[in-house]
Structure 1
Amino acid sequence: MNINSEYLLKKLTDILAIDSPSGDCIEVINYLNKNFKDLGLTTKISPKGALTVIIKGRDVENPVAVTAHVDTLGAMVKEIKPNGRLKLTQIGGYPWPTIDGEYCTISSLDGKKYRGTILFDKTSCHIYGDIPRTMIRNEENIEVRIDELVFSKKDTTKLGIEVGDYVYFDKRTEIRKNGFIKSRHLDDKACVAILLEVARNIVENNNIPSKTTYFIISNYEEVGHGGAGLINNKIKEVIAVDMATPGIGQQSKEQEVTICAKESTGPYDLELKKKLIKIGKEKNLNYNIDVFKYYNSDARVALVAGGQFKHALIGPGVDASHAYERTHIQGLENTVKLLIAYLNS
């Protein structure tokens, strides 16, 4: 199977460079829309801002769907403090300590961008002694120090910064020669890049899927309703492509593709899981089967919204999820291969 890893990594790097916390995904959706159209595929953007790509297959009566989400974690200005610094409210779920010390960008409604640093409000050991070492980080004591001459709330508002403005975390993307990929927001931009590579492979090799396929890229997954309302009643099977979770007690690995048997709300479809495992064996892929403890996917959300389809979840292992994440090119490649083989089955 011809996998263009250079194309895959280039698209991943491009996607990671575009800030897209949940609710602020217009730019990245437009980027993806252009890329899929450049491949000659039909696309449409929903009123909700999600992207659907249509790939015609040999069987048009029993379509399938593949989902991934391009929205990421982020933050929003909750309050402008009397000293001009910013309190934050989270977009998505992550531990506050994972952003302590991170560089960031504040995006005002009028399009201005300001740089800053996310900090514990008692960071200096020379002033606060042991407090920086022992205090739990939370929404009350994490703040943004803006890289401007601001010393009061009035100074900050003069810049055009207001409550409700988005705050983007620096991604710090690094692709190593040994195959490791480090960055924030590999969840789930790594899998969006995988869909681009699958689409390229289908188009350039005239590899027509067995069934008409919808690629659905959602923009609200991290806040719980990304997959709701995006999957029509004609679709018979849905594969969610999202990160797997390596760690203690887990089988997932960064260099492999994981087939999820169950996540926090219940099991995935047994017959579809068996089908994917059979493909993994027949194609001699590096795969594993895992159960995720604290997890939900767009396929599950679409079911709760009333969807009537078989559902499955696959994806590459992503270490340190919802923090500074890491995966491996082999995990991405194995996911591409499993997905292409499934679409041809």
Structure 2
Amino acid sequence: MSYPNARETIDLLKALVSIPSPTGNTFEVINYVEKFLSELQVDTYRNRKGGLIATLPGTDSSRHRMLTAHVDTLGAMVKEIKPSGRLKIDLIGGFKFNSIEGEYCQIETSSGRKYSGTILMHQTSVHVYKDAGKAERNQENMEIRIDEVVKSAEDVRKLGIEVGDFVSFAPRVEITPSGFIKSRHLDDKASVAILLQLIKHLKTNEVSLPHTTHFLISNNEEIGYGGNSNITPETVEYLAVDMGAMGDGQSTDEYTVSICVKDASGPYHYGLRKHLAKLAEEYNIEYKLDIYPYYGSDASAAIRSGHDIVHGLIGPGIDSSHAFERTHQSSIENTGKLLHHYVLSEIIS
């Protein structure tokens, strides 16, 4: 059995996480994905929200599948330009201020100019602030130190920086000799890389699919509505490919594909879940079943918006989600293999 090339998947992942794309400013990464698919001669179109839909025709065009992964990431916006020349920020997505303390960042102005900076506590210096370690990590205390000569709010505005400018976080991607992938934004660019590599494998090898299959690269998942539209009336099954969440009480790990049975939106479709687990067992794919207590996906967004579909959620296991994330090559491989067999299988109903 031939599978998508895992090494190429990881190379693609590195390229994707290196493109800044906080929710609301995903044009550059969508352009990248669009070009990748165009070179494979895959038909695509953009929805009005800026997401990208690719379609591979199948033998049965009366019942469709849709798979989705999202390129938008956590990020921030400039909330206030302080008299000191530093910036207050407002968060985009569900994460905590402490997870970005000390991180390098980029501010992109509305005219496209880009400036580097560092996210720091206002009370960082222990030589000045007695309670530096005790101060709360929140919007009031954290700020961006811009890498430009700025001594006032006026100096900052002369650079073209203004309230509402997007802030992205440095990914710091690293592949270790032991096969670990460390980077911000593995949620969900690891899954995007897996889907793109799957499409490449199917096209390159002229694999015939049993059902017409759509691939939605969504761009608003982190704020809850990336995958809730542009679902064809013929679509029967909808599978979100997103990270598996790890922590105390979780079965998900960094080495297997995680099949979600329930998240904050409720249970995923029981029949589709069993179908995915059966495929994994049949083809000796390592997997874990899990519940993600504080989680929602593009699939759950699609259900909430009223679509009459069978919905599911799988993905690579990601440690320290919405912070300093990490997974392993084996999790990428297992997820890719399961997706490969899934798109070649018959729709369950």
Question: What is the alpha-carbon distance in structure 1 between the residues aligned to residue 205 and residue 112 of structure 2?
Answer: 42
Deviation at 1:263, TM superposition (A): 0.3
Per the TM alignment, residue 36 of structure 1 is displaced from its structure 2 partner at its CA by: 1.1
Alignment map for 1:252-271 (pairs within 5 Å):
252-271=252-271
Q: Deviations over 1:76-133 (max 9, x none)?
A: 000001111000000101110010110111111111111111000000010012x121
Q: Output the CA distance in 1 between the equivalents of 2:82 and 2:181.
A: 37
SS in 2 for 1:115: strand
* DSSP-derived class of the 1:83 partner: coil
Q: Distance in 2 between the 1:119 and 1:72 partners?
A: 20
Residues 255, 328 of structure 2: 8 Å contact kept = yes
Q: Distance in 1 between matches of 2:179 and 2:59?
A: 36
What are the equivalent positions in structure 2 for 1:297-308 lying under 5 Å apart?
Answer: 297-308=297-308
Alignment match, 2:136: 136
Measured in 1, the distance between the counterparts of 2:4 and 2:179 equals: 15
2:48 aligns to what? 47
Amino acid at match of 2:3: N
Deviation at 1:134, TM superposition (A): 1.1
Q: Contact 1:228/1:301 (CA < 8 Å) preserved in 2?
A: yes
Unaligned runs of 5+ in 2: none
Q: Distance in 2 between matches of 1:221 and 1:173?
A: 22
Matched, 1:71 2:75: no
Give the C-alpha shift of residue 40 in structure 1: 1.7
* Bigger mean CA offset, 310-319 vs 196-205: 196-205
- Whichever residue aligns with residue 249 of structure 1, its letter is G
Aligned position for 1:23: 24
CA distance in 1, matches of 2:342, 2:109: 44
- AA partner of residue 307 (structure 1): H
Look up the match of 2:114: 113
Corresponding residue for residue 15 of structure 2? 14
Q: Quick one: distance in 1 between partners of 2:274 and 2:228?
A: 26
How far 1:162 sits from its partner (Å)? 0.3
Q: Is the 8 A contact 1:198 1:340 kept in 2?
A: yes
Query: Partner residue of 1:277?
Result: 277
Q: Contact conserved, 2:3 with 2:337, CA < 8 A, in 1?
A: no
What is residue 228 of structure 2 aligned with on the other side? 228
Contact 1:232 1:307 in 2 (8 A): no
- Name the SS of the counterpart of 1:53 in structure 2: strand
Give 1:37 shift: 1.6
Matched, 1:96 2:128: no
Q: Give 1:3 shift.
A: 3.0
Instruction: Answer whether contact 1:7 1:197 (CA < 8 A) is retained.
Output: yes
Instruction: For residues 298-322 of structure 1, give each alpha carbon's deviation from its aligned partner in whole angstroms, at most 9, with x where no partner exists.
Output: 0110111111100000000000000
Aligned length: 344
> Shift of the alpha carbon at 1:197?
1.1
Partner Cα separation in structure 1 for residue 139 and residue 43 of structure 2: 43
**What corresponds to 1:192 in structure 2?**
192
Whether the aligned pair in 1 keeps the contact of 2:243 and 2:318 (CA below 8 Å) is: yes
For residues 113 and 132 of structure 1, the distance between their equivalents in structure 2, rounded to whole angstroms, comes to 30
1:56 match: 57
Question: 1:191, 1:39 → 2: CA distance?
Answer: 19
Contact 2:3 2:340 in 1 (8 A): no
Q: Is the 8 A contact 1:65 1:213 kept in 2?
A: yes
Matched with 1:327 is 327
Name the amino acid aligned to 2:256.
E
Gaps of 5+ in 1: none
Q: Distance in 2 between matches of 1:155 and 1:316?
A: 45
**Structural RMSD (CA):** 0.9
Q: Distance in 2 between matches of 1:132 and 1:249?
A: 33
Q: Is structure 2 residue 313 aligned with structure 1 residue 313?
A: yes
The TM-score with structure 2 as length reference comes to: 0.97
Partners of 1:288 and 1:62 lie apart in 2 by 28
How does 1:110-189 map onto structure 2 within 5 Å? 110-129=111-130, 131-189=131-189
Quote the Cα distance in structure 2 between the aligned partners of 1:80 and 1:198: 44
How far, CA to CA, are the matches of 2:189 and 2:56 in structure 1? 21
> d(CA) in 2 for partners of 1:210 and 1:288?
26
